[in-house]
A and B are shown apart, each in its own frame.
Chain A
Amino acid sequence: MHRAELLMAVAMMALSVVFMVMATDLPIGWVPGSGPGGGAFPFWLSLIMLVAGAVILVRELRARQTGRAVRKPFINRVALLDIGLVCAAVVATIGLMHVVGTYVAIPLFLVFYLRVIGRHGWSLIAAFAVVTPIVLFLFFEVTLRILLPKGITEPLFFPLYAFFF
């Protein structure tokens, strides 16, 4: 917990420095007659962010010295595995949406999630993996006219487009 606390404070401070450097692309000072420049708002707020991060960091370091630091683990081990798997699955799904499209990526995600995390039976998994993309297609593409990414599977949808539009 304590180490995570330190890491987060440092990460937030690093992020604020990045923001400050990027903000200097636009004037960060006072433009006479009209107030602050375009970079001023992000720059000075990032500075406050840096200070707030530093306060948290110093406080945590002092807590370590006085031995008051919280020693309980940050995430419990069993949950960590599940959380890692879900994060990886989400990243893989979004990545796959670029390549093979929504209608392959989403069922794959459902199969993975319901099987590996949920340990459900195959008949239930199959039902969800088939029904979900159909509902998504009918709702987004047919009703809202929002085309979801299809990647290389796009040509397979031409007959459906022809039918619905």
Chain B
Amino acid sequence: METLALLADGFALSLSPLNLFVVVLGVTIGLFVGAMPGLGSVNGVAILLPMTFLVPPASAIIFLGALYYGAMYGGAISSILLGIPGASTAVATTFDGRPMAQQGKAGLALIAAAVGSFVGGTLSVILFTIFAQPLADVALAFGPAEEFALVLLAFTTFVGLGGDDIPKTILMIVFGLVLSTVGLDLISGQPRLIFFDLPGFYSGISFLVLAIGVYGIGEILWTLETTRGKAPVTTARIGLRDLWAGVRQLSHSVRTMTFGSVLGFFVGLLPAAGATPASLMAYGMAKTLSRKPETFGKGAVDGVVAPETANNAASTGSLMPMLTLGIPGSPTTALLLGGMVMWGLMPGPMLFIEEPGFVWGLISSLYTANAFAVIINLALIPMFVWALRMPLTILCAMVIVLCIVGGYAPDQRLHDVWLIAVFGVGGYLLRKLNYPLAPLVLALVLGPLMEKAFRQALISAQGDPMTFLERPLSASFLVLAAVFFLLPLLKGLRRRPADAPGRTP
């Protein structure tokens, strides 16, 4: 009941004219960003974060949250109409979305994707609403030792569950952590790792610089290489009658939707998992549980519904640890966390006590974002068809301009823009060699928190490292971390795996 009262207060904030406007704007831009081949929520948030200085911090975060949601809906559009996933999170949507489009059922596929996304988004926001406060209450008991152990746990999930090459994953995590130590030492205030004595490094390397480099410039280089050939756009028209027919047909998919939402939400909580694996898992499960598994891959409606519900649910799931614990569940939420820290809204349990208005405003805005996303998505389908016909080179040029100018804007230093170029090229090369980039970005965001927690815990324990093991919560996180870390080793003992090339987000 208390939660409902808080949520009602939240709606008072999120339904203000400005916030309603930023939600609509965020969702619309997100839909376009998501629909563009190659660009997903993380690229959209990275590139557009500097533009949000225009509005107050709370509205900026609400805007980015809406953008995140919109991009999740939008990913399905190019999966269906082009057969190219709009983002890695929509890969599974191509399996049945593309065959449906080729059979002339593009409209139904788009409706299924939009409604599935809406159900997945809404059910997961309800789960979020129920679990957020209790989790934040538990997290209130956390001291620096627990924080350190929790961050370590987050990183080990990449090793145990990430599915990428393990030495490369570890290398990317520690590389990100080392980059996060550049600048002034948190405790003593002395400068360290000042490359070439450049004054620009004294303030450290901003998460935004790395993110714009990797997800902006790096992504464009990647897109240049992968989407050289033009894919034919399938046209889709949706009238009210199609909509009604589609919704009626979707009544058979209620089970798939519920199941995809719950699965997606819980998979999304894990830092290493997130929307892409959640959507693939949901697709697999839907196929296994289906009465007609042979129709999957040939244009089954459930084959579109399952991944779309799951990826939207997972994106909400990954917001929860970010907001309640201060540990992001995905690269996109890592950027949201970085943005919130930049605006002085430190995510974590204290935020629920100090800024309840903001927290519940943000949560309630997720409900409105979902409602607008499904409406705008269906209403603007002709616009998306038109936008997908736009030559990709125009989009690439605009993105690069936004990266350069947007990278300059936050601190007004060309030093940052140079770094963006370096990270862009470096990130592209690393990605080509199957080095996972998500742990790198997460490590840079979480590095300062991890080091501070580690050293504060030791200072308050007079330098006794046993403090991490003597505190029960911290000890259990560390044990769990050890399990995740050793998981691949145990698997390796059972059977020697072939050298499979890793995946990249």
Contacts and interface: CB of A to CB of B under 8 A. Distances in A.
A79 B425 contact: no
Given A19-B193, A38-B192, A113-B400, A75 B174 contact: no
A12 B175 contact: yes
B401 A110 contact: yes
Interface in B429-463: 429-430, 432-433, 435, 451, 454-455, 458-459, 462-463
Interface stretch (B256-264, B279-287, B341-349, B406-414): B406-414
Contacts of B54: 143-144
A82 B224 contact: yes
Contact of B174 (A30, A49, A98, A109): A49
A32 B463 CA distance: 7
B208 to A, nearest CB: 14
A3 to B, nearest CB: 11
B221 A26 contact: no
B5 interface: no
B432 A90 contact: no
B492 to A, nearest CB: 13
A149 B463 contact: no
Interface stretch (B165-173, B354-362, B377-385): B165-173
Contacts of A30: 463
Secondary structure of the A side of the interface?
helix
Secondary structure of the B side of the interface?
helix
A7 B108 CA distance: 49
Contacts of A19: 178, 193
A118 B193 CA distance: 41
Given A128-B394, A136-B405, A143-B54, A91 B220 contact: no
A7 to B, nearest CB: 9
Q: How large is the interface on A (under 10, 10 to 19, 20 to 34, 35 or more residues)?
A: 35 or more
A48 to B, nearest CB: 5
A52 to B, nearest CB: 4
A38 B221 CA distance: 37
Contacts of A36: 454-455, 458
Nearest to A106: B401
Contact of A86 (B187, B224, B459): B224
Contact of B167 (A55, A74, A117): A55
A136 B398 CA distance: 11
Contacts of B220: 86
A45 B178 contact: yes
Nearest to B501: A70
Interface stretch (B247-255, B308-316, B416-424): B416-424
B228 A144 contact: no
Nearest to B188: A38
Contact of B409 (A38, A120, A146): A146
B16 interface: no
19 contacts: A1-B433, A8-B429, A15-B175, A26-B188, A30-B463, A31-B463, A52-B170, A56-B171, A74-B432, A76-B225, A79-B228, A86-B220, A87-B425, A90-B217, A94-B421, A97-B414, A117-B396, A120-B393, A147-B412
Interface of B: 51, 53-54, 167-168, 170-171, 174-175, 177-178, 181, 185, 187-188, 190, 192-195, 217, 220-221, 224-225, 228, 391, 393-394, 396-398, 400-401, 404-405, 408-409, 412, 414, 417-418, 421, 424-425, 428-430, 432-433, 435, 451, 454-455, 458-459, 462-463, 465, 499, 501
